[in-house]
Structure formats: C-alpha cells, structure tokens
Amino acid sequence: MPLAPAREWDDDAPPPPPRPAMSDDTKPPVVRTIPMPKAVRVARTLWLISFVASMAAVFISFLTHDALNDELAETIGRLSPGYDDEEVAALVDLVYWSSLAGLGVVVVIEAVLLGTMLTRRGGARWLQLPVLVVHAGVVLVASAFLAIGDWGGIAELLMLAGIVLATVAWVFGVVRSAQRWFRMPDETQLAADD
C-alpha cells in the first residue's frame, strides 16, 4: 500500500532533497542599445524646435483672440455684405478655431510619430511625409486667417519657421546614417557581474 505524500505541517516528514547546482555558469545576454547617429539627434532637435515654434504661433493667436475676431469680422463683412452680424460672428469663430485646432492637431500627430521614430521604428519617418504635406496646407490656411493684426506677422513667421524646420528635420531623418541606424539590429552582450 503506497504511503500518502508528506504534508507541509507534518513534522515527521523528511526534508526535501537539495537543489542541483546550475550546469551553465554563463550570464544571460543583455540587449545593448545602439547610440543614435548625429543625423537622428539633429532631426530630433529640429522637430522639437518646430513644435515649439508652431505652438508659439498658436499661443500668440490665442492671446490675440479679440483683436483677430474684430479684424476677421470686418474683413468678412466687407467681402460678403449680405450676411448679418450673427452669421459673420459664427463664420469668424469657425475659421479662427479651425485654424488653431488644425495647427495643434498636426503638431500632436508629428510629436507622436517622432516618439515612434526615436524607438527605432523607421516606418514612422514615411508616415511623417504625408503629415508634413497636411501641415503645409494647414499653415497656408491658418496664415491667411491668423496673420492679421499687430501680432499677425510674428504668428505667420513662427508658423512658417515651424514647417520649414519640420521639413529639414524629416530630411535629416532619411539620410544614409539614419537609415543604417533604423535597420541595424540590437547588439547583445553578456550581463556584467553585479
């Protein structure tokens, strides 16, 4: 008749056998990150400056909301005299907030793609290209409506600087050293003794 297995609370049970020694003393491999090439670091810096310039244009346009609304209402009233004041005000609000939202959304999408690109996912670079085209269109439309008034010139300059810097940053992201970095596999090395 077989004996029942020993239970943990059974004091009369023999101790478990000792664990066997490790048969392999080599350390496990550790993935070593490959440092970014200079072209990718420059691209990252230019992207960040582009984001700051574009968001500064949005901020300036937001702070000058009342002056922009008055001038846009006057301009739209001259161009289409058949509209009443409520329709003109609604159109001004639509144009103003659409321009600000368009710039903000494009910058956020570019920032997400930049974050993806910096984790060595090179496909994000090619998604940035159509976003750059949309960014250029948004800048053209926004500069037509937001570049009026006393601060309009500065806002337009910041918007144009943002798109130019973003374009140059994209070019730096597709040069040969950047392509090599995106395609290079991570290197492994043995873990250090701690």
Over the stretch 147-158, which tens digit does the pLDDT of each residue have? 887 888 899 999
9 lies in some domain: no
End-to-end C-alpha distance for the chain, whole angstroms: 52
Instruction: Evaluate whether residue 23 is within a structural domain.
Output: no
Residue 14 lies in a domain: no
Q: Give domain status of residue 152, yes or no.
A: yes
Residue 131's pLDDT is 96
Sign of CA dihedral 60, 62, 64, 67: positive
Residues paired with residue 32 on neighbouring β-strands, in sequence order: 187
Instruction: Extract the tokens encoding 85.
Output: 């004041």
| 85 part of a folded domain | yes
Query: Would 188 be classed as within a structural domain?
Result: no
- Say how far apart CA 53 and CA 73 lie, in whole Å: 27
> pLDDT below 70 — which residues of the chain?
1-11, 25, 28, 186-194
pLDDT at position 194, please? 46
Closest CA to 63 of 115, 100, 29: 100
Give domain status of residue 12, yes or no: no
Q: 123, 183 in Cβ contact below 8 A?
A: no
Integer Cα distance of 40 and 43 in angstroms? 5
| 194 inside domain | no
The neighbour count for residue 24, using CB atoms within 10 Å, is 6
Q: For residue 103, give its domain range.
A: 36-182
Domains contained in the chain, number? 1
Could you tell me the pTM of the whole model? 0.76
